[in-house]
């Protein structure tokens, strides 16, 4: 039984961040210098740069624009406005986003799909350079999507570790400075212990590989909104998931000062009849984070998860009404882009109007990061929910 017990790791202390703790031999009363040396965090050649990048992304009043939809998912978005899923149309929409004047005032990082990382504007300027000139760090989605998890209760696991080191090195050369890996946990399907451990282990291996290749890993175990469960059930699952995630991150020698988190907010399930206020969401979410996330982590960049644009912003604002141990901000896709896409509609003459819509949403969330947002004057479109059951990205 002793072999099954985990070593006691205090996640509240930065002294033990990113370490694998080895039990002392029964015959030893004092640790040798060699044993002390084995307890040091494995930083790697990019340690200083990782910390600098993570803190730059987690900068005051700014957050992340997630525009890393796969070609298939981007195609669904384009279809919603009557456009075909062609590379030219994807390029046109993404050019609209990365060339928005003033975007860097509110956005510190942009997550790109692999195709986008290598694309340029019609004038020939690399998207990566457009972002860097605006003070926005380019990021890259590195996972290869979800597949069924054998032996589970119809749950999923995230693939993409094979070849990740080589791909990450190439992404760094192309200008990416942080990475994203999205795995999911389903409450209606359990979650099973197998699914939780698999999600945490995959995230930890990805994080370690990313750091060794100069990329700040965004750690994202998304707890899906699907289900009729109440907010207390979500809290219990979130605490279990994040406990396992940090245990595995430590086992894989991940430097906590050089990561960012992308958690789900703690909310009731999408089909739950007991709805709660932004203040309650903030109370439960911050309670979970304070119980599970070490203060060494620079930034918490929330996903929107199908909330309406306004709902996601209100919840973020409620979490920033008092100081937090970490930068608490956003990494939104649909909650930043929904109105933008509909305003553009594929019409070149509407590009400036769509860029204005993006700035409005980005500024709103910037204010929420500062705890100064008000929903007064928001459009009805921005209040519409965007939940999609069993959402894939």
Which of the residues are catalytic? 220, 262
Token look-up 């384009």 returns 78
Nearest CA to 96 out of 338, 339, 354, 335 is that of 354
Residue 256 and residue 249: Cα distance in Å, rounded?
A: 8
Residue 269 and residue 285: Cα distance in Å, rounded?
A: 14
CB 151 within 8 A of CB 179: no
Nearest CA to 259 out of 43, 112, 50, 15 is that of 50
Residue 28 and residue 35: Cα distance in Å, rounded?
A: 11
Count other Cβ atoms within 10 Å, centred on residue 351: 17
């Amino acid at each position: 039984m002793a072999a099954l017990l985990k070593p006691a790791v205090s996640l509240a202390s930065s002294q033990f961040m990113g370490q694998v703790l080895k039990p002392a031999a029964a015959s030893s009363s004092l640790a040798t210098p060699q044993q002390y040396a084995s307890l040091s965090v494995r930083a790697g050649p990019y340690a200083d740069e990782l910390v600098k990048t993570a803190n730059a992304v987690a900068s005051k009043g700014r957050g992340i624009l997630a525009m890393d939809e796969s070609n298939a998912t981007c195609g669904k978005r384009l279809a919603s406005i009557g456009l075909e899923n062609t590379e030219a149309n994807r390029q046109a929409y993404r050019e609209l986003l990365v060339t928005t004047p003033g975007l860097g005032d509110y956005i510190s990082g942009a997550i790109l799909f692999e195709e986008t990382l290598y694309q340029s504007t019609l004038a020939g300027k690399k998207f990566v350079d457009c972002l860097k000139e605006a003070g926005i760090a380019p990021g890259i989605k590195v996972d290869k999507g979800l597949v069924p998890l054998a032996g589970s209760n119809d749950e999923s696991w995230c693939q993409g570790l094979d070849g990740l080191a080589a791909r990450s090195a190439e992404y760094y050369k192309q200008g990416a400075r942080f990475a994203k890996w999205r795995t999911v946990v389903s409450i209606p399907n359990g979650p099973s212990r197998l699914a939780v451990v698999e999600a945490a282990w995959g995230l930890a291996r990805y994080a370690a590989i990313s750091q060794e290749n100069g990329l700040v890993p965004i750690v994202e175990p998304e707890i899906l909104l699907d289900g009729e469960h109440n907010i207390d059930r979500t809290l219990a699952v979130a605490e279990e998931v994040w406990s396992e995630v940090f245990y595995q991150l430590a086992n894989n020698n991940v430097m906590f000062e050089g990561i960012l988190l992308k958690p789900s907010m703690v909310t009731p399930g999408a089909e739950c009849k007991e709805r709660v206020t932004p203040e309650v969401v903030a109370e439960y979410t911050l309670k979970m984070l304070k119980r599970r996330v070490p203060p060494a982590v620079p930034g918490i960049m929330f996903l929107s998860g199908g909330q309406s644009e306004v709902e996601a912003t209100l919840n973020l604002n409620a979490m920033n009404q008092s100081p937090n141990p970490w930068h608490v901000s956003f990494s939104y896709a649909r909650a930043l882009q929904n109105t933008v896409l509909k305003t553009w509609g594929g019409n070149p003459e509407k590009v400036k109007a769509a860029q204005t819509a993006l700035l409005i949403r980005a500024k709103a969330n910037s204010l929420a990061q500062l705890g100064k947002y008000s929903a007064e004057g928001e459009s009805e479109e921005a209040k519409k929910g965007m939940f999609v059951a069993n959402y894939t990205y």
